[in-house]
Chains A and B, each alone.
Chain A
Amino acid sequence: MTVLVYAENWNGNFKKSTFEAVHYAAELANLMDAETVALTISAKDDPSQLGKYGAHKVKTIENPSLETFNNQAYADAIIAVAEESNADTIVISNTSNGKAIAPLVAAKRKAAFITNVIELPESLSPFTIKRKTFSSKAIARYQTESDKKVITITANAFEYSERGQSATAEAFDFQTTAPNQELTSVSIDRATGKIGLTEADLVVSAGRGMKGPENWGMIEDLAEALGAATACSKPVSDIGWRPHSEHVGQTGIAINPQLYIAVGISGAIQHLAGVNASKNIVVINTDPDAPFFKAADYGIVGDAFEVLPKLISAIKTYKAAI
């Protein structure tokens, strides 16, 4: 038996979510007494390092036609490797590309498709597993009878560790079948130098309480001092103070970092839906009755314009001392 994990890369490099997925697949394989095979497509990073996170073998695909991402072709490649290595269970990260590939793999393999998974299965037979649902307002226990499964896992839900072994990597000869579908990538626009929001361990977020975009310097300074990503509430991106890609919540990005600092955000139910899975929440708000305090671990009732400069300098002092 084999668990296959698609080890995604960005411009050739693995990211944290890749290691989380490999680690998850290895833990799952361990439960199933199976082997863990990782697949990389057009990766530049050394594939054998995936062994450190639990992969026994790595299959690598280098094919000029797969240099740029194409969900259809990538799904076909994953299916080809799954068939060759007899993998009934396939693990994919819940990233933007993962979400574009995974349903295609599931449909073509006639596999049970379970997304947003947050834990290892609690039982293998019958296969029972927890996933986030109702926009993170609830957790559902899913069961499937199907032998074939495609599981996508939530970023930051699993901590990975290095186990120190190195995996053997071998090239997999994938022949793209004549494309019956045409979708070509024209250009990719990436905000460079920024920490990705979904994968960030620490997030500093702000809302309408900041009064205007000109005051975001403080938010960025705090994020920089911490090494955090920045986020915002929906109205802030709606009025254009911040880009839409920073909007978190029920209709924005759902995140679950180690630390979420919310400044001048009231804590409306739709906002909380996307952030309440954060392990620690700090709320800074002038209004002691702001609903966000009910969801917070630490709270400061105070004016952001006074609290933030002090907090930034306290963090800098702390960082300088370690």
Chain B
Amino acid sequence: MKILVCISHVPDTTSKIVFKNDNTEFDASGVTFVINPYDEFGLTKAMHIKESMGGTITVVNVGLAATESTLRKALAIGADEAVRINTEPTDAAFVAGLLAEYAGEENFDLIITGRESIDYNGGAVPGILSAHLNIPFVNACIGLDINADQATLIREIDGGKETLQGKLPLLIAGQKGLVEEKDLRIPAMRGIMMARKKPLRVVEASEIHKQTTVLNYQLPDEKGACTLIDPDNVDQLVELLHSEAKVI
């Protein structure tokens, strides 16, 4: 089983989001970067598959040199090799195009991505990548069972779930449920030592047309002051929800 896990390098969930250069760029100073949480579930799932069926796990990231710490962490968790496609990941079509060029030559049986990256939140790269590779795409995947080349998949749908059956190769965009939180692996000393010797290959990015550019960012409007209501006077809340907020 040849597995590719696409890893996005994102600000830790506790990060305060601040912009610089006239709000045109994310200010990464003082921010800790991590493996995108959804991708971490995917990586652990890949480990489970490898442990039960054998195979290799490659992790790939489209990013500049700063993302190598994140790829090393994935190697320390248990991936066998890492590939970094050297460019700034500024547009989903561009990132997916680069990933497709790379993956198109490698014949992976299974490609695992996250449901979305917690910075861009595009939910875009996985689907576009699957279309380029012409393999099925299962979004919001919360269950995967592989038997030879047959896969049973569960995906989250609005207010429920759907079970699907498919044939490898395929691409899933995963999230919690693929494995549970308690299954997530923290790199151990031995893993970290071994990761140093594992290959991390840097590939130059080819010219792919970008579809979008970000002009600038803004923060959501600040909330005004909170109106405090006496716990013994909940009628006042009901009245305000009716007359002021107009929601009931």
Contact = CB atoms under 8 A, between A and B. Distances in A.
Interface of A: 10, 69, 71-72, 95-97, 99-100, 102-104, 106-108, 111-116, 128, 132-144, 146, 180-191, 194, 196-199, 201-202, 226, 238, 244-245, 250-251, 258-259, 269-270, 273, 276-277, 279-283, 293-303, 306-307, 310-311, 314-315, 318
Contacts of B240: 298
B226 A283 contact: yes
A314 B38 CA distance: 41
Interface in B123-163: 123-124, 126-128, 130-132, 134-140, 152, 155-163
25 contacts: A72-B137, A96-B157, A99-B139, A100-B139, A100-B155, A103-B126, A107-B96, A112-B93, A113-B124, A133-B121, A138-B19, A138-B220, A139-B219, A142-B213, A142-B215, A143-B213, A188-B160, A226-B248, A251-B175, A297-B226, A297-B227, A298-B237, A302-B231, A303-B231, A306-B231
B124 A115 contact: yes
Interface of B: 11, 13-14, 16-17, 19, 26, 37-38, 92-93, 96, 118-124, 126-128, 130-132, 134-140, 152, 155-167, 170, 175-177, 181, 211-220, 223-224, 226-232, 234-235, 237-238, 240-242, 245, 247-248
B157 A297 contact: no
Contacts, number: 257
Nearest to B180: A238
Given A96-B140, A114-B212, A282-B237, A137 B128 contact: no
B229 A300 contact: yes
Nearest to A319: B248
Contact of B237 (A184, A185, A201, A311): A311
A295 B225 CA distance: 9
B248 A115 contact: no
B212 A142 contact: yes
Given A103-B123, A103-B126, A238 B181 contact: yes
Given A106-B93, A107-B127, A107-B131, A245 B159 contact: yes
B137 A300 contact: no
Contacts of B127: 99-100, 102-104, 106-107
Most chain B beta-carbon neighbours within 10 Å: one of A132, A137, A201, A273: A137
Nearest to B242: A318
Contact of A135 (B118, B136, B176): B118
Contacts of B213: 142-144
Contacts of B212: 112-114, 142-144, 146
Given A100-B127, A187-B163, 13 more contacts: A96-B155, A113-B93, A115-B122, A134-B118, A134-B119, A141-B215, A141-B217, A144-B212, A190-B159, A194-B159, A251-B176, A258-B245, A297-B223
Contact of A296 (B124, B226, B230, B231): B226
B217 A184 contact: no
B223 A138 contact: no
B183 to A, nearest CB: 12
Given A97-B157, A104-B127, A115-B121, A139 B163 contact: no
A150 to B, nearest CB: 10
Given A96-B157, A180-B134, A259-B245, A295 B223 contact: yes
